[in-house]
Amino acid sequence: MGVPSRATVRLLVNPIVRGREYLSELPGPFLFVANHPSELDAPLLALVLARIAPRLVAVGAAPQTGARGAFESALGLRSAGRLAGLLNRGVSVLLFPESHRADDGTLTPFNLGAARLGILTGVPIVPVTLSGTYRALPPWRHLPETSRPRVNVIFGRPIRPAEGSEPSAVNDEIVTAITLGMAEVKNGWYGALRADAEGTPAAVGSATDEGGAERGTARWRRIWKATAPDEVQRRTVWVK
Amino acid sequence: MSRPGFVLSVDAQTPPLVVFQGEKVLLQRLPSGSSVLYPPEALPGIHQLDAEIGEALANPVDSEPLAALLKRGSRVTIVFDDLSQPITSRTAPDVRQRVIERVLELAAAAGVDDVELIAATGLRRRLTPYDLQKVLGERVFASFFPEQLHSHDAEDGSVVTVGTAPDGTPIEINARVVSSDLVISVRLATAVANEGAPAVATKLASARTARALNSPLAGPEAAAAYESLVDTIGETATVFTIDVTLTPEPTGPATAFLSKREREWSITDRALSAGIQLATKVLPSRARVGLTQVSGVGFGVTSVLAGKPSSVHPLTESFLAQQQVGEVDSPADVAIFGIPNPTGVGATLNPVTAASLGLGQIFNGSTAAPVVRQGGTAIFYHPLTPWFHPLYNPAYVDFFAEALSATTDPAQLSAEFETRFATDPWYRHLYQTSYAHHALHPFHAWYSAAPAIDYLGEIIFVGGNLESTRRLGFKAATTLNDALEMASDSVGLEPSITYVHGAPVSISEVS
pLDDT in tens, B107-164: 999 989 899 999 998 888 999 998 898 899 888 998 888 889 999 999 988 888 888 8
Distance CA B74, CA B473 (A): 53
Mean pLDDT for chain A overall: 80
In sequence order, which residues have a C-beta less than 8 Å from that of residue A174 and are 6 or more positions away? A33, A110, A114, A115, A125, A127, A159
CA nearest A240 in B: which residue? B129
A66/chain B closest Cα distance in angstroms: 43
> H helices then E strands: how many in chain B?
19, 18
Distance CA B462, CA B236 (A): 53
Q: Tell if the CB–CB gap between A193 and B109 is shorter than 8 Å.
A: yes
Residues of B in contact with A17 (CB under 8 A): none
Site from A51, A184, A193 to mutate, B interface, most B CB atoms within 10 angstroms = A193
Site from A18, A190, A194, A240 to mutate, B interface, most B CB atoms within 10 angstroms = A190
- In the predicted model, is pLDDT for residue B266 greater than 80? yes
pLDDT of residue A164: 82
Of all residues in chain B, the percent with pLDDT exceeding 90 is 36
pLDDT of residue A212: 44
pLDDT of residue A210: 43
Q: Tell if the CB–CB gap between A239 and B130 is shorter than 8 Å.
A: yes
- Given a contact cutoff of 8 angstroms between Cβ atoms, the answer to whether B81 and A168 are in contact is no
CA nearest A25 in B: which residue? B48
Count Cα atoms within 13 angstroms, Cβ side, for B250: 25
Residues of B in contact with A189 (CB under 8 A): 139-140, 142-143
Mean pLDDT value of segment B21-48: 84
pLDDT of residue A229: 74
Q: Tell if the CB–CB gap between B92 and A184 is shorter than 8 Å.
A: no
Distance CA B171, CA B202 (A): 10
Q: Which residues is B232 bridged to in the sheet?
A: B238
**Domain locations along chain A:** 6-226
Instruction: Taking each helix axis as running N to C, give the angle between helix B49-58 and helix B95-110, from 0 to 180 degrees, rounded to the nearest 10.
Output: 50
- In the predicted model, is pLDDT for residue B100 greater than 90? yes
Any idea of the CA torsion for B197, B198, B204, B205, to the nearest 10 degrees? Answer: -70
Q: Is the dihedral of CA A45, A50, A52, A54 positive or negative?
A: positive
Span B240-249, pLDDT tens digits: 999 998 877 6
CA nearest B53 in A: which residue? A22
pLDDT of residue B264: 85
Any idea of the CA torsion for B41, B279, B25, B265, to the nearest 10 degrees? Answer: 40
Q: Tell if the CB–CB gap between B143 and A190 is shorter than 8 Å.
A: yes
- In the predicted model, is pLDDT for residue B505 greater than 80? no
- In the predicted model, is pLDDT for residue B471 greater than 80? yes
| Model confidence band, residue A236 (pLDDT cutoffs 50, 70, 90) | low
Closest CA to B85 of B504, B508, B441, B502: B508
Dihedral pair phi/psi, residue B206, rounded to 5°: -75, 165
- In the predicted model, is pLDDT for residue B347 greater than 90? no
Distance CA B256, CA A169 (A): 48
Residue B158 sits at the vertex; the CA angle it makes with B95 and B416, to the nearest 5 degrees, is: 95
DSSP state string for B182-230: EEEEEEEESSTTTS--S-GGGGSB-HHHHHHHHSTTS-GGGGGGGGGGS
Distance CA B112, CA B239 (A): 17
Lowest mean pLDDT among A77-91, B166-180, B374-388, B410-424: A77-91
Supply the ipTM of this predicted assembly.
0.78
A197/chain B closest Cα distance in angstroms: 5
pLDDT of residue B431: 93
Q: Tell if the CB–CB gap between A21 and B139 is shorter than 8 Å.
A: no
| Model confidence band, residue A226 (pLDDT cutoffs 50, 70, 90) | confident
Q: Which residues of B touch A (CB under 8 A)?
A: 47-51, 92-93, 98, 104-105, 108-111, 113, 115, 128-130, 138-140, 142-144, 146
CA nearest B93 in A: which residue? A21
- Given a contact cutoff of 8 angstroms between Cβ atoms, the answer to whether B169 and B212 are in contact is yes
Higher pLDDT among residues B393 and B2, named by residue: B393
CA nearest A190 in B: which residue? B143
Mean pLDDT for chain B overall: 84
- In the predicted model, is pLDDT for residue B288 greater than 90? no
Lowest mean pLDDT among B66-80, B97-111, B179-193, B419-433: B179-193
Q: How many residues does chain B have?
A: 511
B49/chain A closest Cα distance in angstroms: 7
- In the predicted model, is pLDDT for residue A102 greater than 50? yes
pLDDT of residue A208: 44
Closest CA to B501 of B151, B122, B39: B39
- In the predicted model, is pLDDT for residue B294 greater than 80? no
CA nearest A22 in B: which residue? B50
For B142, which of A188, A193, A196 is closest by C-beta distance?
Answer: A188
Span A167-193, pLDDT tens digits: 889 999 999 999 999 888 888 888 888
Mean pLDDT value of segment A132-145: 83
pLDDT of residue B469: 94
Mean pLDDT value of segment B361-369: 71
CA nearest A199 in B: which residue? B109
Residues of A in contact with B140 (CB under 8 A): 189-190
Residues of A in contact with B138 (CB under 8 A): 16, 18
Under DSSP, is residue B127 helix (H, G, I), strand (E, B) or coil? coil
DSSP character at residue A109: P
Q: Tell if the CB–CB gap between A240 and B47 is shorter than 8 Å.
A: no
Mean pLDDT value of segment B442-458: 90
- In the predicted model, is pLDDT for residue A126 greater than 90? yes
Site from A25, A157, A189 to mutate, B interface, most B CB atoms within 10 angstroms = A189
| Model confidence band, residue B459 (pLDDT cutoffs 50, 70, 90) | very high
Residues of B in contact with A194 (CB under 8 A): 108, 111, 113
Lowest mean pLDDT among B209-223, B435-449, B476-490: B209-223
CA nearest A198 in B: which residue? B111
Any idea of the CA torsion for B416, B422, B428, B431, to the nearest 10 degrees? Answer: 100
Residues of B in contact with A236 (CB under 8 A): none
Dihedral pair phi/psi, residue B372, rounded to 5°: -120, 145
pLDDT of residue B497: 92
- In the predicted model, is pLDDT for residue B346 greater than 60? no
- In the predicted model, is pLDDT for residue A68 greater than 80? no
pLDDT of residue B326: 59
Higher pLDDT among residues B92 and B450, named by residue: B450
The domains found in chain B, sorted by start residue, are 6-40+252-296+324-500 (3.90.226.30), 49-246 (3.40.50.11440)
Closest CA to B199 of B234, B228, B174, B161: B228
Q: Tell if the CB–CB gap between A197 and B128 is shorter than 8 Å.
A: no
Q: Is the dihedral of CA A217, A221, A223, A228 positive or negative?
A: negative
CA nearest B148 in A: which residue? A190
Mean pLDDT value of segment A184-205: 75
- Given a contact cutoff of 8 angstroms between Cβ atoms, the answer to whether B427 and B399 are in contact is no
Q: Is the dihedral of CA B357, B363, B366, B371 positive or negative?
A: positive
> H helices then E strands: how many in chain A?
11, 6
Residue A188 sits at the vertex; the CA angle it makes with A185 and A193, to the nearest 5 degrees, is: 105
Q: Which residues of A touch B (CB under 8 A)?
A: 16, 18, 21-22, 24-26, 157, 184, 188-191, 193-194, 196-198, 239-240
Range with top average pLDDT, A64-68, B45-49, B220-224, B393-397: B393-397
| Model confidence band, residue B380 (pLDDT cutoffs 50, 70, 90) | very high
B510/chain A closest Cα distance in angstroms: 24
- Given a contact cutoff of 8 angstroms between Cβ atoms, the answer to whether A127 and A35 are in contact is no
Lowest mean pLDDT among B132-136, B181-185, B344-348: B344-348
pLDDT of residue B82: 85
| Model confidence band, residue B214 (pLDDT cutoffs 50, 70, 90) | confident
pLDDT of residue B235: 82
pLDDT of residue B246: 84
Q: Tell if the CB–CB gap between B50 and A198 is shorter than 8 Å.
A: no
Distance CA A127, CA B21 (A): 49
Q: Tell if the CB–CB gap between B50 and A189 is shorter than 8 Å.
A: no
- In the predicted model, is pLDDT for residue B502 greater than 80? no
- In the predicted model, is pLDDT for residue B415 greater than 50? yes
pLDDT of residue B421: 93
pLDDT of residue A128: 94
We find that the CATH architecture of domain A6-226 is 3-Layer(aba) Sandwich (3.40)
pLDDT of residue B1: 57
Q: How many residues does chain A have?
A: 240
Mean pLDDT value of segment B419-444: 92
A202/chain B closest Cα distance in angstroms: 17
Closest CA to B190 of B506, B509, B510, B511: B506
Q: Tell if the CB–CB gap between B48 and A191 is shorter than 8 Å.
A: no
B492 phi-psi bin (left φ>0, alpha ψ -120 to 50, beta other): left
pLDDT of residue B122: 86
| Neighbour-count burial for A214-224, b at 16+ CB within 10 Å, e otherwise | eeeeeeeebbe
CA nearest A27 in B: which residue? B48
Q: Tell if the CB–CB gap between B139 and A18 is shorter than 8 Å.
A: yes
